[in-house]
Chain A
Amino acid sequence: MKPFLREKIPSGFDEIPETTSYEAGYLVTKNAGWRNVRPVIDTQKCVGCLNCYLYCPDGVISRRDGKVEIDYDFCKGCGICKKICRPGAIEMEAEK
């Protein structure tokens, strides 16, 4: 579980809160457009050490079946995962 993208973007006066409090974890935009390169995981080489999951500043890498997967909606392509990956299972590929 994590904050997730909502379909509804509050915009009208009746939808904007009168005080400064609002629902936690309310996301309306992706960060994918920030990226020039994307990390791609070679699941054959991945040993499931989870270092990429631990060191991702955006938390976009999650555990799945003993390996990892990337949420490309929010990955900014910083490349920390590639550098931290000891078996070399992550490659950065240019975004087309």
Chain B
Amino acid sequence: MALNARTIDETEYFYGHKACAGCGGSLAVRIALKVLGQNAVAVLPAGCMSAVGFNFPQLCFGNNAIISTFAGTASMLTGIEAGLRAQGITDFHAVGFAGDGGTADIGLQALSGAIDRNDDILYICYDNEAYMNTGIQKSSLTPFGARTTTTPAGKNIRGNLRPKKNMFEIVAAHGIPYAATASVGYINDFIRKVEKAKQIRGTKYIHILAPCPTGWGIKTDETVEAAKEVVDCGLWYLAEYENGSFTLNHRPKEFSGVEEYLRKQSRFRHLTDEDIKIIEKSRDAKWEFINKNFN
């Protein structure tokens, strides 16, 4: 039976943490752990969630959790899975929570290796679209046009020049048993995907978009709205990859305004109308691909 607000584990496994008010990443971690339960063993590399969760003696994880090296989230998951299996323990879930930088830049080779070995782990990337923990530097998952401290908006160059790396399809290209995209704006969809991943043996990857009020320049109460709007305007999508094929889970009847979504965030405030047209064009190209290749 699908979990919902009434049937999900009432225990809080990520509590009292020091994340900024309205943090999307902490919402993703909290919900994922509620689905996985107390036998989840969490691995967190350097990033917001380890910085806010382990300030000794304030230890905010209610289950087993450990900080890994920045690049080694997936390797440590592999080790934990093998170690517990060697001890004859079977009732557990090794789960990693890495940010966009820790996944798409620094931890990519370890993740690729784990998928190649098909280790029985769940890797969750909470994507807030920059290195937020260290003060908003560009990662390879920062979208085109976004202002960060390493891609400032000036007269000649207006924010990030490169598009967002397509992590979901990179992971899927390994032939992984299960991969999915999600958004904290559609939390029931995320719950369903974590629940599904929990049942599958082998490597699982979930990429959840988690807005950061501090880095995006939105109000603390707009996190969930922004995460919903980015899906509704077509700049992000909810999909799954399984048995070699892609499935789209949510098709907006009509896209809401890209400009409206962008203008609310101070990281995009400098964009010109032409820049917004470029973003709309790339969205349309992406959806053309989705319509052609996804079920």
Instruction: Please report A residues at the B interface, Cβ cutoff 8 Å.
Output: 1-3, 5, 9-10, 16, 22-31, 34-35, 49-51, 53-59, 62-63, 74, 76-80, 82-84
Q: Which of B13, B16, B59, B63 contacts A31 (CB 8 A)?
A: B16
Interface residues of B in 93-113 (CB under 8 A from A): none
Contact A80 B22 (CB under 8 A): yes
B8 contact set on A, CB distance < 8 A: 54
Contact B58 A29 (CB under 8 A): yes
Contact B63 A62 (CB under 8 A): no
Contact A50 B5 (CB under 8 A): yes
Complex formed: what's the CA distance from A94 to B210 in Å? 27
B200 contact set on A, CB distance < 8 A: none
Using CB atoms, name the residue of chain A closest to B210. Answer: A57
Contact A80 to B221, CB < 8 A, known contacts A25-B62, A27-B60, A57-B23:
yes
B65 contact set on A, CB distance < 8 A: 24
Complex formed: what's the CA distance from A27 to B13 in Å? 12
Contact A53 B224 (CB under 8 A): no
Q: 1/0 contact trace for B178-193 toward A, CB 8 Å? A: 0000001001100000
Contact B220 A78 (CB under 8 A): yes
Q: Which of B5, B21, B60, B184 contacts A77 (CB 8 A)?
A: B21
Q: 1/0 contact trace for B5-39 toward A, CB 8 Å? A: 11010111111111111111011001100000000
Which residue of A9, A23, A31, A34 has the most chain B CB atoms within 10 A of its CB atom? A31
Q: Does B268 contact A (CB under 8 A)?
A: no
| Min CB–CB distance A20 → chain B (angstroms) | 8
Q: Which of B6, B17, B27, B223 contacts A50 (CB 8 A)?
A: B6
| Min CB–CB distance B186 → chain A (angstroms) | 11
Q: Does B56 contact A (CB under 8 A)?
A: yes
Contact B61 A59 (CB under 8 A): no
Q: Which of A2, A10, A50, A77 contacts B15 (CB 8 A)?
A: A2
Contact B224 A63 (CB under 8 A): no
Contact A78 B21 (CB under 8 A): yes
Using CB atoms, name the residue of chain B closest to A27. Answer: B16
Contact A22 B224 (CB under 8 A): no
Using CB atoms, name the residue of chain A closest to B17. Answer: A58
Complex formed: what's the CA distance from A50 to B114 in Å? 37
A76 contact set on B, CB distance < 8 A: 20-22, 220
Q: Does B57 contact A (CB under 8 A)?
A: yes
Contact B10 A57 (CB under 8 A): no
Using CB atoms, name the residue of chain A closest to B219. Answer: A79
Q: Which of B5, B14, B17, B20 contacts A54 (CB 8 A)?
A: B5
Contact A24 B58 (CB under 8 A): no
B220 contact set on A, CB distance < 8 A: 76-80
Contact B57 A28 (CB under 8 A): yes
